[in-house]
Amino acid sequence: MRPISFKRHRFPPEVIRQAVWLYFRFTVSLRDVEELLAERGIDVTYETIRCWTMKFGPAIAANIRRIRPRADSVWHLDEMVVRIRGQRMYMWRAVDREGEVLDMLVQKRRNKAAALKLLRKLLKNQRYVPETIVTDGLGSYPAALKPLNCLQRHRPGRLRDNNRVENSHLPVRRRERKMQRFKSQGQAQRFVSTHSAIYNTFNIQRHLVSRKTMRIFRTAARAEWIAASAADAEAA
């Protein structure tokens, strides 16, 4: 865990953390966060909030990934189309059986090289080979799995077999609409990388648990966020 340095910032760490949390936790715009903070007597512009999300969001997300438990051994892979400045691109996504987002990668192609790049990144970051890799019928997946010696773990399924990852696209689609589409490939990649880590922390799936269990999960999620965004005592 690496403490976050808030040195040389006029606002206290608590305000910065709250702004970053609001932006990535809920489907709100930068201007919405500005209004929410103004309601609490904190006068800060949305451009300042944008700078905070770009600077501190990835650092907090990296800390969250360090403390998250190991993902399930069944992975679901899929890709969806996104339009960025009129250009057709693909957002490759991997989740485990529990809905934990493992990684997201914005790429220009939907071919073997793009699938191979995602798989190599997954195997490197997760540090283990899954028991099963579930995909749709796209031929790029078996072509990419073969040189990785993972073809025997591949399970091409029907559409309903991959519902886990299909449904996981919805939060990103909502944010894409709120942001009036992504402005560049780099901006899209930065946002989804940070958003996915924070989404994992607060994705309690409340419809599957009792109210009592939900409160326990919510408290644990908040504690995880506080730990991941803790300020460096010497540089705060």
- The model's confidence at residue 161, banded by pLDDT at 50, 70 and 90, is low
235 or 202: whose pLDDT is higher?
A: 202
| Mean pLDDT along residues 97-120 | 93
Question: In the chain, which residues fall in CATH 3.30.420.10?
Answer: 74-191
Across the chain, mean pLDDT equals 90
Structure confidence at residue 206 (pLDDT): 74
Neighbours of 208 (CB within 10 A): 8
209 or 96: whose pLDDT is higher?
A: 96
Structure confidence at residue 234 (pLDDT): 52
Structure confidence at residue 98 (pLDDT): 84
For residue 144, what is the enclosing H or E element?
helix 140-145
Q: Encode pLDDT of 30-53 as tens digits.
A: 999 999 999 999 999 999 999 999
- The whole-model pTM stands at 0.88
Residue 181, both tokens: 């589409």
d(CA 76, CA 140): 14
Class of domain 74-191: alpha beta
| Mean pLDDT along residues 7-31 | 94
Q: Encode pLDDT of 125-146 as tens digits.
A: 999 999 999 998 889 999 999 9
Structure confidence at residue 160 (pLDDT): 63
